[in-house]
Structure formats: structure tokens, C-alpha cells
């Protein structure tokens, strides 16, 4: 059956949580978008507290064996590990040489080009939520009524507002997984949702597939996350 519309505590599986981090937060951390958009620049101020104290989000192009991994970006800058959020506080963003110079910061090795005919753009590599210490069973155990949302089949973001569709899911009833449900659409304000993350799992994993479209075409990336629990998410049905 379709999930009934309402506001629920939601546990997101690693696939959905990783795509959420990439689409809803990662793109806002790309410096070409920030300096070209006054509203984004006003929001994305380094040192601002965005998320729960347990939340750290990282982009790392050096991780072995992942789709977004490479030694140098397309401006010759070595790729590196860049913390975007640390303990819920905005501490970094992704740069090319151009955007770093414009904003008085350092290049991060995130200038990527689709091919030699195109100029490099600021793009993510392997973006993930750092692992926590909660088990999936513990996250579910104290939820009287909620949703376990799995996989990601699409979504939209508009600055800090988002809407994501999960591939499938289950109702959580009295701390147990119950019936399977469909038409799971999560929506809300990014910054409020980041504040509402109250548990982060101990089971980080990366998706096996991933491409990110920006400008003239798509490039391979990876997204990763453990399970995460969000206290309140607006859930639309069909």
C-alpha cells in the first residue's frame, strides 16, 4: 500500500542517505555555485552550524577503488580529503583554482572536465557521511510509528529545499519492521533536516554506481553513508 502522508521519524538506508548527502548538501558545497549565487553565499558561511553535533560529511577523491577517485583533477591539483561538515559545522567547500582564488581559499582538487573540449567545473568525487556508532536495530527499537526508507529513485533540490523519492520501504511499528510500503516521498528544508539527524549508523558503505550531471555532461562519482535516523520528515504519499 502507499504510505499515508504525514510527519514521521524516518530511518534512511545507506543508499538513500548517501544520495541525500550528495544531492542536497554536496552541490551546495561546490564553490562555483556559491560565489555565483548571492542567496547561496549568504547561507553557506564557514563556521555556521548546520547539522547535528554527530554529523560529518566529507568529499574524498583519494579513496581507493571508488568511481570518483583520481590522483589529480583536470587543473593538475592533487585530489584530497575535504571535510565539508565537521560535527555539524560548515568547515569547507569544494574548489577549482579559479573559485579558490575568487574566494580567498585553497584549491581542493575538485576541478573536473567531461573532456578536453570543455572547461573544468567544480564537481564532487566520493562524497559520504562519516560513520557513527548506532546499530540499525537500535535506531528502529524506540520508534513507535515511523518509516524505513530504502534506495533512491530520484529527487529535486531548490537551494535548501528538497524532495526525494525512495525506491521502497517498510513501516516501523512498535520498534519492529512491519509491512512494505510504496510511494515514499521525503521532503523538507535541508538545514532543519540536518539538525534533526539524531542517530548515525556504524555500517558505512558506498554505492556501486554513481554519476553526477552538471554542465555539459555527467562524470563518475561515489556516494556513501551509514544508516541515519531523522526525527521528523514530511512524508507525501502517491
- Cell numbers for 165: 523519492
Distance of CA 168 to CAs 104, 136, 164, 171, 179, Å? 44, 17, 12, 10, 11
User: Looking at the DSSP assignment, which residues form a beta bridge with residue 148?
Assistant: 11, 170
Calpha distance 11→176 (Å, rounded)? 12
The pLDDT, as a whole number, for residue 237 is 56
Determine contact, residues 93/117, Cβ cutoff 8 Å.
no
Q: What percent of the chain has a predicted confidence (pLDDT) above 70?
A: 99
CB-based contacts of 131, cutoff 8 Å, min separation 6: 200, 201, 202, 203, 204, 226
Pairing of strands 6-12, 205-206: unpaired
Quote the pLDDT of residue 159: 83
Q: What is the mean pLDDT of residues 191-195?
A: 92
Residue 238 has pLDDT above 60, yes or no: no
pLDDT of residue 156: 81
Average pLDDT in the 211-230 region? 93
Total-model pTM: 0.94
Q: For strands 145-158 and 6-12, give the pairing.
A: parallel
pLDDT digits (tens, 9 = 90+) for 105-125: 999 999 999 999 999 999 999
The alpha carbon of residue 80 and the mean position of all alpha carbons in its chain are separated, in whole angstroms, by: 18
Q: How many CB atoms lie within 10 A of CB 56?
A: 20
Residue 81 clears pLDDT 60, i.e. is over it: yes
Q: Are 213 and 23 in contact (CB under 8 A)?
A: no
**Over pLDDT 90: what percentage of the chain?**
83
Of the CA atoms within 13 Å of residue 70, those in its CB half-sphere come to: 20
Amino acid at each position: 500500500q502507499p504510505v499515508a502522508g504525514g510527519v514521521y521519524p524516518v530511518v534512511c538506508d545507506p543508499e538513500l542517505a548517501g544520495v541525500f548527502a550528495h544531492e542536497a548538501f554536496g552541490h551546495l558545497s561546490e564553490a562555483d555555485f556559491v560565489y555565483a549565487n548571492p542567496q547561496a553565499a549568504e547561507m553557506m558561511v564557514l563556521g555556521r552550524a548546520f547539522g547535528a553535533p554527530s554529523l560529518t560529511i566529507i568529499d574524498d577523491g583519494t579513496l581507493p577503488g571508488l568511481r570518483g577517485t583520481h590522483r589529480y583533477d583536470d587543473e593538475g591539483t592533487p585530489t584530497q580529503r575535504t571535510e565539508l561538515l565537521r560535527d555539524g559545522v560548515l568547515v569547507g567547500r569544494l574548489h577549482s583554482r579559479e573559485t579558490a582564488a575568487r574566494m580567498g581559499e585553497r584549491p581542493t582538487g575538485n576541478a573536473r572536465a567531461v573532456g578536453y573540449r570543455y572547461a573544468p567545473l567544480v564537481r564532487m568525487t566520493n562524497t559520504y557521511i562519516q560513520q557513527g556508532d548506532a546499530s540499525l536495530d537500535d535506531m528502529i527499537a524506540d520508534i513507535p510509528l515511523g518509516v524505513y526508507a530504502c534506495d533512491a529513485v530520484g529527487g529535486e533540490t531548490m537551494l535548501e529545499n528538497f524532495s526525494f523519492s525512495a525506491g521502497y520501504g517498510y513501516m516501523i511499528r512498535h520498534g519492529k519492521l512491519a509491512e512494505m510500503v510504496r510511494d515514499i516521498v521525503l521532503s523538507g528544508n535541508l538545514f532543519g533536516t540536518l539538525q534533526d539527524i539524531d542517530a548515525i549508523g556504524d555500517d558505512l558503505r558506498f554505492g556501486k554506481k554513481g554519476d553526477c550531471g552538471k554542465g555539459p555532461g555527467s562524470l563518475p562519482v561515489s556516494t556513501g553513508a551509514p544508516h541515519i535516523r531523522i526525527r521528523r520528515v514530511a512524508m507525501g504519499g502517491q
